Amino acid sequence: MIHNIMDFLFLIILALNTLDQVGCYTSSYTTFNNSVGDDFITPNDNSVILKNAIQVTRDVSGSVFNLSGKVLYKRPFDLWSKSGRIASFNSTFVVNIETRNDIGLTGQHGGEGLAFILAKDAELPTNSEGQWLGIVNASTNGSFQSNIVAIELDTKKSFAEDLDDNHVGLDINSVYSKSQVSLSRLGIRISEGKDITVRINYDGVTKVMKVSVKAENQTEFSRIMSVPIDLALHLSRTVYVGFLGSTGTGSENNCVKSWFFNADDIDRTKRLWVWIVIPVIIVVLLLCSTVGWCLYVTQRRKENQARDDDDLDMQNIETGLGPKKFRLKELKGATGNFSPKNELGRGGFGIVYKGMLDIKDVAVKRIINTSQGKQNLIAEVTTIGSLHHKNLVELIGWCYEKNEFLLVYEYMPNGSLDQFIRSDDENMILGWEIRHNIICGVALSLDYLHHECSKRVLHRDIKSSNIMLDSEFNARLGDFGLARTFKLSEKTHHTSKDISGTPGYMAPEIFLTGRSTTETDVYAFGVVMLEVVCGRRLDILTKDDEIRVNIIDWVWEFHKHGVLTDAIDPKLKGQFDKIQAECMLALGLACCHPNPYIRPSMRITLQVFWGEVAPPDVPLEKPAFMWPANALCSYRENDLCFTGGIMST
């Protein structure tokens, strides 16, 4: 056996000694801000990062005419190796190019254009503005020493060789394109100020470059170019990748709004594997039994992981109706290998990153690898994965691979509700109508979970940080990691050995019973409602700044003294519907009643919102919590009494 192992290792040494090592070179930017400025090289002041985009030629300060700009990713990569291997790569970016007609120069038009490039060095050629697009100048045009290959988006017919003022071209050490295609036939106008997505693929094996484009109103890419080209003949071994642009006597905005680049990074060094393997062989010979045990444990771990993966497949994917299963490689690429720059937030069970899949923004939650984390992933996939409602965050897919637990959601551009509640920034103050719509949206989502699903769903962790806001500030309830489902014929409570939820949002009876019910969800919703209306945190400092008071007790004091509307957020400066606000505060207190049997159901809550039933009567003094509670019936729905989450006559 030892002889076989040594022979095998010797063959590996010979193989590794003849091969270059290949890794992965990736950069991913769903947007650009000042925090990523150090990632790029800009040879002059004509290129800036501004307004969440790369302004390849500046458009806001100083002269905007006769400029050339260059922006490169700071880390070059090896395009080819001495053994003759050429790296494959793909680049997808969104550009917005707009002719400037507000400059005030009569008879002048925009130009000249923007280009994606691979180049030997980071320098910008002098006198490369205007028709030269920043690629070359009059003396270097056509020279092999330029060492540059570009895909240009040209907006001006500057040469007789140009097709028109609206074409894409492949340039090799020259602005006279080797291949060019007009976009007019696709109904795309480069310089009209609309987003255009460009996808460039280069196959290092077949040595073919392919270019596809898509306008913002188009759903499919159109292949416009497929050109054979051996990049090793035209470019140095190590190249930079980035963008060039120029303006001439006319001006235009040359903006890059997002960019994803991935390539094989061919390492130029070879490992001295022999000097590593020799001591390893000695250790293997001395500790053969230990190695065998490690192999056994590793194999068992792989079998367990495969079995767990199969369990998830059996629960949801086998039906073919659940969320998509992604590979770990896909999600690493989408998030820039979980780059801290793409981090959106952190929670008790994981970190959420912004990513891009198929030119669509997504949120990727990386769950902490624990038994609880695994349970949360299963809970999300098996609950929200089968739910569809306008006020629920959509679960797009999931991944369980190499002990990584990942969930993929639709991206919510306005983040979570709690950041607006807790912020003192005037720009983040939500108006009354938006607050009212948010509360109604959460109520609709809970009514759907409690009363309209084929299986009743208990969320068990309703709080402001789990309520997301889309681009129009519509509420989307998310994070179903603690959720549980029950058949409608079953009792709605769930008994668990651990107490689930977030302190401050948890109904008092949970700590005694360990049970979650529809009423405990209603209690948490009531707390959120008070937070939104009052613009306050869960714990509120009294005037002497010495004692913290729970928001429920704080609002109940205003109710006790008949000045309930004094609890409304002062940042609204009186701009709210008084009757509506007072109704919502009273309803919030009713939802937070210490007796779970007196809390209104979500169906009743919605009827109050819609004016179909009167607001509940709330006692002036907050009742004491007592257990077991009296199963009183305060709210009726179709002559049926809801007690303990179970409907009885």
Q: Kindly tell me if the per-residue pLDDT of 385 is higher than 50.
A: yes
Residue 637 lies in a domain: yes
Q: Which of 458, 421, 469, 466 is closest to 645 using CA atoms?
A: 458
| Confidence band, pLDDT 50/70/90 cuts, at residue 303 | low
401 lies in the same domain as 448: no
Q: What percent of the chain has pLDDT over 70?
A: 80
SS (H, E, C) 4-35: HHHHHHHHHHHHHHHCCCEEEEEEEECCCCHH
First vs last C-alpha separation in the chain: 77
Q: Can you give the CATH number for the domain in which 353 is found? A: 3.30.200.20
Residues 418, 461, 479, 521: which is the catalytic one? 461
**Helix/strand/coil (H, E, C) string of 408-433?**
EEECCCCCECHHHHHCCCHHHCCCHH
Provide the 10 A C-beta neighbour count for residue 118.
25
User: What tens digit of pLDDT does each residue of 87-130 get?
Assistant: 999 999 999 999 876 554 444 466 899 999 999 999 999 999 99
Record the tokens describing residue 495, joined without a space.
Answer: 């008994």
What count of other Cβ atoms lies within 10 Å of the Cβ of residue 313?
14
| Secondary structure (H, E, C), 467-518 | EEECCCCCEEECCCCCCEEEECCCCCCEECCCCCCCCCCCCCCHHHHCEECH
| Helical (H) or strand (E) element with 460 | none
Please name the residue ranges forming H helices in 569-648.
578-591, 602-609
Please say which residue of 249, 266, 283 terminates a domain: 266
Residue 284 within a domain? no
**296 belongs to a structural domain:** no
More confident residue, 262 or 489: 262
Residue 45 covered by a domain: yes
| Count of helices and strands (H, E) across the chain | 12, 33
Q: Which residues are annotated as a binding site for ATP?
A: 365
In the three-class reduction of DSSP (H, G, I as helix; E, B as strand; rest coil), residue 585 is classed as: helix
Q: pLDDT category, 20, cuts 50, 70, 90?
A: very low
Same domain for 119 and 222, yes or no, is: yes
Instruction: Please report the pLDDT score of residue 312 as a whole number.
Output: 52
Whether 576 and 553 share a structural domain? yes
Q: Between β-strands 395-401 and 324-325, what pairing exists: parallel, antiparallel or unpaired?
A: parallel
Q: Which pLDDT value is given to residue 373?
A: 66
Strands 238-247 and 68-73 turn out to be antiparallel
Domain that holds residue 623: 418-648
In which band, very low, low, confident or very high, does the pLDDT at 314 lie, cut at 50, 70 and 90?
Answer: very low
The whole-number pLDDT of residue 311 equals: 55
Question: How far does Cα 586 stand from its chain's mean position?
Answer: 37
Q: How many CB atoms lie within 10 A of CB 374?
A: 17
Let me know whether 375 and 447 are in one domain: no
Tell me if 274 is assigned to some domain.
no
Structure letter (DSSP) for residue 598? G
pLDDT in tens, 607-637: 999 889 988 889 999 998 888 877 755 454 4
**DSSP class of residue 86?**
B
**Is residue 64 in some structural domain?**
yes
Residue range 159-185, pLDDT digits in tens? 999 999 999 999 999 999 999 999 999
* Neighbour tally for 81: CB within 10 Å: 19
Q: Indicate if 461 belongs to the active site.
A: yes
Decide which of 266, 288, 307 is a domain's last residue: 266
Q: Do residues 569 and 600 share a domain? A: yes
DSSP element (H, E) containing 45: none
Do 503 and 638 fall within a single domain? Answer: yes
Q: How far is Cα 549 from Cα 114, in angstroms, rounded to an integer?
A: 59
Cis status, amide bond into 112, omega within 30 of 0: yes
Q: Is the pLDDT of residue 494 over 50?
A: no
* pLDDT, position 100: 78
C-alpha closest to that of 242 among 276, 200, 187, 283: 200
Q: What are phi and psi of 209, to 5 degrees?
A: -105, 130
* Residue 28 CA, distance from chain mean position: 12
500 and 390 in a common domain: no
Determine the 3-state secondary structure of 67 from DSSP.
coil
Question: Do 355 and 501 fall into the same domain?
Answer: no
Paired strand residues for 636: 641
Q: Is it the case that residue 495 has pLDDT exceeding 90?
A: no
3-class secondary-structure state, position 220: coil
Q: Looking at the structure, tell me whether residues 609 and 467 fall in a common domain.
A: yes
Place of tokens 């920043």: 134
- Into how many domains does the chain fold? 3
In SS3 terms, 288-342 reads as HHHHHHHHHHHHHHHHHHHHHHHHHHHHCHHHCCCCEECCHHHHHHHCCCCCHHH
The enclosing domain of 572 has a CATH number of 1.10.510.10
Q: Is 85 within a domain?
A: yes
Instruction: Output the DSSP codes for 521-555.
Output: HHHHHHHHHHHHHHT--SEEE-TTSS-EEEHHHHH
Per the annotation, binding residues are 365
Instruction: Tell me if 549 sits within 8 A of 539, measured CB to CB.
Output: yes
Both 389 and 433 in one domain: the answer is no
Tokens found for residue 41: 């090289």
Residue 299 lies in a domain: no
Which one is predicted more confidently, 21 or 185? 185
Phi, psi of 120 (to 5 degrees): -70, -45
What gap in Å lies between CA 520 and CA 599, rounded to an integer? 9
Pairing relationship of beta strands 539-541 and 515-516 according to DSSP bridges: unpaired
Q: What would the mean pLDDT of 543-563 be, rounded to a whole number? A: 84
Average pLDDT of the chain, as a whole number: 83
125 and 259 inside one domain: yes
Q: Are residues 395 and 422 in the same domain?
A: no
Q: How far apart are CA 96 and CA 255, in angstroms?
A: 5
Each residue's pLDDT tens digit, 456-476? 888 888 999 999 999 999 999
- CATH number assigned to the domain comprising residue 249: 2.60.120.200
Q: Which residue has the tokens 């795309």?
A: 188
Token duo for residue 69: 């700009």
Q: Domain end: 381, 410, 439, which one? A: 410
**Cα 431 to chain centroid, rounded:** 26
